[in-house]
Structure 1
Amino acid sequence: MEIKIAKNAGFCFGVKRAMQMASDELDDKSTEVYSLGPLIHNKQAVSKYEEKGLKVVEEIENIPSNERVIIRSHGVGEIVYNEAENKSVKIVDTTCPYVKKIHKIVNDFYKKGYKIIIIGNKTHPEVVGINGWCENSAIVIKNVDDIDNIEFDKDAKYCVVSQTTVDIDNYEKIVEKLNSILKDTVMKNTICSATKERQLSAKNLAKEVDCMIVIGGKHSSNTQKLVNICKDLTNTFAIETKDELNKEELKNYKSIGITAGASTPDWIISEVIDFLESI
């Protein structure tokens, strides 16, 4: 059996930075450390941090005054910063710089009178956070077919941004259709470069192997994008850990490719590789 690993797999820059910052905060025992929502979309990694003392909450109001709260890499809306300040909660901001850039674009154009369009999943925390920088007024488009159900103001100016983990092909289809409908539109391709590279390397590897194993959280948006890309090209197994793999089933493949989502720690990837090498 030949095992091939995608060139771009596992923690991206933003997640790696957030995890290191969170770890440093947990080493400082001066106050309790909270996370506003799960730190990343990987329950195994989150569990390790909870063992170190991290407390996961959903609302600022659930955090006592003068404690610390980690804003995760997905980012949050403007109101969360105001709520934290009002409660005297210290913010540890691990928002990915690429996501921060989107917040600024949205806020700047919104103040100039533009209507905001976000390409992405409206329930994803990153999109919820982006929408929070234009007073939650954005139009959110997930698929090109959604456009048919939206009534646009033909006289308005629009600024279009995207969730950093959007599938590139899907983004281009949506942009093409929007350009054919709207007159005055500023398009900002805010898909993260690491996302583009990860999707491309997964696609290229999937063409070379008999099957792909995609490692990552079931609720991880970028991981599920990788699963869909690989499924179109070869037999694909979507897993969170090696425990979901079937040794007898994998023996039937001569070559196996491995990729992983941006929230998948190296140690989980290593365990999968060790498992395959044991076959």
Structure 2
Amino acid sequence: MREIIRAEYSGFCFGVDRAVKEAFTVRKTKGRTFTLGPLIHNKDVTDKLEDSGVSTISEGEIGRLEKDDTVIIRTHGVTRAVYDGLKAMGVDIIDLTCPYVINIQKKVSEYHDKGYQIVILGDGNHPEVVGINGWCDNSAYITPTGEVDIPLKRKVCVVSQTTEKQRNWLNLIMNIAKTSKEFVAFNTICKATEERQKSAEELSKEVDAMLVIGGKSSSNTKKLYELCRANCEKTYMVENAQELAGMINNFDGAVRVGVTAGASTPEWIIKEAVGLL
């Protein structure tokens, strides 16, 4: 008989859970409502929001907003310029930026104003990092792995995308210390990310196959997959039960199957997928 073992920490984190609940609540009390970009990186959730009347618009579509509209700022946050632009338009802003991301934005803004060179560990194309960089006039040096290929002789302030790997953070700090004589470092990898990565990595060493559930564009889900795949060759990443159904034969012969899910994966999606195993 197959044993299904779920990682101790998986699924919605605090910030995502708060944002999703609030987004559905807002729609019941407001008129035209939009999210500026996908609220979270999970298509099933954004589809449900769309069905409830909450549409997704891009930053390039801001001009179509009207004064009485409600605009929800996604969990990843936005640049200062975008935020100020929305305020100037007079629309109703519901800011659901993750509190941990807001903290990073504030740190970056503060130290940029003090003359520090900002260094961000993360994916420069990810909306969270794009947003953070926008709070220091888009002047940050961004590294996805912790490698640094320019001399950093000014005072340096170092932060991280919330979903980064601890090993990349340690690599960055080691490299910064080689060239910078004065730097401050804020390890802004969120606790939920740390917990999910650690529990998934440990579980992947003990099972025959590993299932990682989450959106294809979710940074934290991809990191979980990479960590698990390093320990368990039969590691598979799916968005939902429908996708898993098309590849369920990959789990043939696996007696112990581990399951984890990204911080933007709701419980109902996890349960549907696990039910197929």
TM-score, normalised by the number of residues in structure 1: 0.95
2:95 is aligned with 1:93? yes
Counterpart residue type for residue 117 of structure 1: V
Mark the runs of 5 or more structure 1 residues left unpaired by the alignment.
Answer: none
- CA deviation after TM superposition for structure 1 residue 244, in Å: 2.4
Trace 1:226-241 onto structure 2 (pairs within 5 A): 226-234=224-232, 235-241=234-240
2:137 is aligned with 1:135? yes
Query: Mean alpha-carbon deviation: is it higher for 4-13 or for 62-71?
Result: 62-71
1:215-270 Cα shifts (integer Å, max 9, x gaps): 00111000000000000000200100122233333131010000000111111100
CA contact (8 A) 2:121 2:164 kept: yes
- CA deviation after TM superposition for structure 1 residue 153, in Å: 4.4
- Cross-structure match for 2:21: 20
- Rounded to whole Å, the distance in 1 between the matches of 2:188 and 2:146 is 17
Counterpart residue type for residue 113 of structure 2: K
The correspondence for 1:225, drawn from 223, 229, 247, is 223
The correspondence for 1:126, drawn from 125, 128, 132, is 128
- Cross-structure match for 2:46: 46
2:257 is aligned with 1:256? yes
Counterpart residue type for residue 179 of structure 2: I
Secondary structure in 2 matching 1:144: coil
Counterpart residue type for residue 209 of structure 2: C
RMSD, aligned α-carbons: 1.1
Trace 1:1-279 onto structure 2 (pairs within 5 A): 1-28=2-29, 30-59=30-59, 60-145=62-147, 147-148=148-149, 150=150, 152-154=151-153, 156-234=154-232, 235-245=234-244, 246-276=247-277
1:70-129 Cα shifts (integer Å, max 9, x gaps): 001111111122111111111100011111110111111111111101000001000011
- Rounded to whole Å, the distance in 2 between the matches of 1:44 and 1:184 is 45
- Rounded to whole Å, the distance in 2 between the matches of 1:72 and 1:56 is 10
1:147-183 Cα shifts (integer Å, max 9, x gaps): 12x2x342x1110000000011111112111112211
Counterpart residue type for residue 232 of structure 1: A
- Rounded to whole Å, the distance in 2 between the matches of 1:257 and 1:125 is 30
CA contact (8 A) 2:146 2:172 kept: yes
- Rounded to whole Å, the distance in 2 between the matches of 1:251 and 1:142 is 36
- Rounded to whole Å, the distance in 2 between the matches of 1:85 and 1:8 is 37
- Rounded to whole Å, the distance in 2 between the matches of 1:63 and 1:47 is 21
Secondary structure in 2 matching 1:27: helix
Counterpart residue type for residue 184 of structure 2: V
Counterpart residue type for residue 99 of structure 1: V
TM-score, normalised by the number of residues in structure 2: 0.95
Mark the runs of 5 or more structure 2 residues left unpaired by the alignment.
Answer: none
- Rounded to whole Å, the distance in 2 between the matches of 1:144 and 1:171 is 6
Counterpart residue type for residue 208 of structure 1: E
Residues paired across the two proteins, number: 271
- CA deviation after TM superposition for structure 1 residue 213, in Å: 0.3
Secondary structure in 2 matching 1:172: helix
- CA deviation after TM superposition for structure 1 residue 62, in Å: 3.0
- Rounded to whole Å, the distance in 1 between the matches of 2:51 and 2:255 is 40
Counterpart residue type for residue 50 of structure 1: E
- Rounded to whole Å, the distance in 1 between the matches of 2:84 and 2:173 is 34
